């Protein structure tokens, strides 16, 4: 069965569960909201629904209740590869079950049929100024795909709410198919010969991405692309890029508008851009100390940076309170394949020293590394050294998580989001009265 048929089969039961929860338990209180939560970025307020993934502070992400290690182990892999089909992960996110090899391949094959990017997108990107950030190019390209939206075409013709999910899925499959090609074009345009990439019908997405950006070690990079695109895909719904997409799509904006908002959110240094900033930091350390610093040198370097009021990118997290399992998975990949790489060794030493310094400083609630603390050295190792590009890779991957959530939000008929704000005076009066 295709993804569409599988979703269709699940719809009656899932809609019944959703409606029953609202009808029978709509007034059940989950938690109180504190003034701190209102003032402090809504941290920890339980107010979003998703079955696609869940982040446990002490354990990290589970995709459809499976840990990263379980997912990497259970998903089918291309012949001779260490890492699974990315299509298999998309199937898991959408359907909630580990696909067979045929089902995983079917998603990859379907993506290849949909991956052609309209020529005007490349033309628009060519007109962007040279110093435009690659994330601006990606966001512009996704927004510019808007005329392709089946959802909007059908909505404007007149479509019943129960049918919204079908064109939402169609748009999602088209977007996730075209994004890797757009990303590869941005890479070629900014750093190579500007060639318009062409997908090879015989390759899975990981291998195709490797050939579209023209790295030397195709086989090695294909596995890295598979790992990278799988682990960055989703981090439940409250993370900034996913939430921005969800909020935008809750107005029935189509996924091209909505994900352009999500990408613009991912481009911030506190979120997705931290992968670029983290690699910049590692390069700075390598340059300053002519390679690997001593532990004492790195400790002092970290303190100096904190005392200048600067962040340590790649460290800390709003939810996690342990080293991010996505960090662990990437470190394991690097140590197995290129343990002598200096940047990997520096990243490892940073992992040893920085958390201790952050604990001594006593500000960050989580001193441990997040996903962005190691992704850069892996790309760098395979020759993708243009670190401004790294958040684009994150954006290609995150599209899978947000579109799985988008489709299910339309299946369940989730309404427009509209939290309520309060004035500072109201909070003061409420505090005084309590």
Write out the H or E segment, with its range, that includes residue 63: strand 60-63
By CB under 6 A, is residue 318 in contact with ligand CMX? yes
By CB under 6 A, is residue 365 in contact with ligand CMX? yes
By CB under 6 A, is residue 212 in contact with ligand CMX? no
Residues, the chain = 434
**Rounded distance between C-alpha atoms, residue 414 and residue 412, angstroms:** 6
Minimum CB distance to ligand CMX smaller for 263 or for 364: 364
Residue with structure tokens 């459809």? 64
**Rounded distance between C-alpha atoms, residue 41 and residue 212, angstroms:** 39
By CB under 6 A, is residue 42 in contact with ligand CMX? no
CB 354 within 8 A of CB 346: no
Sign of CA dihedral 57, 15, 158, 2: positive
Residues 156-175 that bind ligand CMX (CB under 6 A): none
Q: Which string of DSSP letters, residue by residue, matches 278-325?
A: HHHHHHHHHHHHTSSPPHHHHHHHHHHHHHTT---TTB--SS--S--H
Residue 268's contacts (CB-CB under 8 Å, 6 or more residues apart) are 240
The distance of closest approach from Cβ of residue 328 to ligand CMX in the complex, given in angstroms and rounded to an integer, is 15
The distance of closest approach from Cβ of residue 385 to ligand CMX in the complex, given in angstroms and rounded to an integer, is 20
- Using the rule CB under 6 A, which residue among 111, 185, 228, 315 binds ligand CMX? 315
By CB under 6 A, is residue 316 in contact with ligand CMX? yes
Helix, strand or coil, per DSSP, at residue 254: coil
Residues contacting ligand CMX: total by CB under 6 A: 20
By CB under 6 A, is residue 370 in contact with ligand CMX? yes
Site string for ligand CMX, 111-150 (x = CB under 6 A): ----------------------------------------
Q: 41: how many CB neighbours lie within 10 A of its CB?
A: 11
By CB under 6 A, is residue 317 in contact with ligand CMX? yes
Residues 239-278 that bind ligand CMX (CB under 6 A): 270-272, 274
**Rounded distance between C-alpha atoms, residue 333 and residue 78, angstroms:** 17
Minimum CB distance to ligand CMX smaller for 9 or for 359: 359
Residues 291-310 that bind ligand CMX (CB under 6 A): 306
The distance of closest approach from Cβ of residue 166 to ligand CMX in the complex, given in angstroms and rounded to an integer, is 32
CB 333 within 8 A of CB 393: no
By CB under 6 A, is residue 45 in contact with ligand CMX? no
Minimum CB distance to ligand CMX smaller for 104 or for 266: 266
Which residue's CB atom is positioned nearest to ligand CMX? 316
* Selected range binding ligand CMX among 19-27, 46-54, 143-151, 311-319, rule: CB under 6 A: 311-319
By CB under 6 A, is residue 363 in contact with ligand CMX? yes
**Rounded distance between C-alpha atoms, residue 214 and residue 208, angstroms:** 10
**Rounded distance between C-alpha atoms, residue 410 and residue 54, angstroms:** 20
Pairing of β 66-67 and β 53-56: unpaired
By CB under 6 A, is residue 364 in contact with ligand CMX? yes
By CB under 6 A, is residue 401 in contact with ligand CMX? no
Catalytic residues: 271, 317, 372
Residues at the site binding ligand CMX, with contacts judged by CB under 6 A? 270-272, 274, 306, 311-318, 363-366, 370-372
């Amino acid at each position: 069965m295709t993804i569409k048929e599988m979703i269709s089969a699940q719809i009656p039961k899932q809609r019944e569960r959703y409606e029953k929860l609202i009808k029978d338990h709509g007034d059940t209180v989950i938690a109180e909201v504190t003034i701190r939560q209102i003032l402090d970025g809504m941290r920890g307020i339980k107010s979003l629904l998703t079955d696609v993934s869940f982040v446990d502070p002490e354990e990290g992400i589970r995709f459809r209740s499976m840990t990263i290690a379980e997912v990497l182990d259970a998903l089918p892999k291309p012949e001779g590869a260490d890492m699974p089909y990315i299509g298999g992960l998309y199937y898991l996110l959408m359907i909630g079950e580990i696909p067979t090899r045929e089902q995983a391949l079917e998603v990859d094959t379907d993506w290849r049929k949909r991956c052609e990017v309209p020529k005007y997108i490349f033309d628009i990107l060519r007109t962007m100024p040279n110093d435009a950030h690659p994330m601006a190019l990606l966001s512009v390209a996704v927004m510019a795909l808007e005329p392709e939206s089946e959802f909007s075409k059908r909505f404007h013709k007149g479509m019943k709410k129960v049918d919204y999910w079908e064109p939402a899925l169609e748009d999602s499959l088209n977007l996730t198919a075209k994004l890797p090609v757009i990303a590869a074009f941005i890479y070629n345009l900014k750093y190579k010969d500007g060639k318009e990439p062409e997908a090879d019908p015989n390759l899975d997405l990981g291998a195709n991405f490797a050939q579209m950006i023209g790295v030397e070690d195709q086989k090695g990079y294909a596995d890295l692309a598979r790992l990278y695109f799988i682990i960055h895909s989703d981090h439940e719904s409250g993370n900034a890029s996913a939430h921005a997409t969800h909020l935008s799509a809750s107005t029935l904006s189509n996924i091209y508008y909505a994900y352009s908002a999500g990408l613009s959110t991912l481009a911030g240094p506190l979120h997705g851009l931290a992968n670029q900033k983290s690699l910049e930091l590692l390069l700075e350390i390598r340059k300053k100390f002519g390679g690997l610093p001593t532990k004492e040198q790195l400790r002092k370097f970290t303190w100096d940076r904190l005392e200048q009021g600067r962040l340590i990118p790649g460290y800390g997290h709003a939810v996690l309170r342990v080293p991010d399992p996505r960090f662990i998975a990437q470190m394991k990949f690097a140590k197995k394949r290129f343990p002598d790489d200096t940047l990997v060794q520096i990243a490892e030493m940073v992992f040893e020293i920085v958390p201790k310094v952050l604990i001594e400083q006593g500000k960050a609630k989580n001193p441990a590394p997040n996903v962005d603390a190691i992704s850069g050295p892996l790309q760098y190792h395979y020759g993708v050294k243009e670190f401004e590009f790294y958040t684009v890779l994150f954006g290609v991957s995150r599209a899978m998580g947000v579109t799985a959530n988008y489709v299910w939000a339309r299946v369940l008929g989730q309404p427009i989001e509209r939290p309520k704000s309060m004035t500072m005076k109201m909070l003061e009066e409420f505090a005084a009265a309590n």
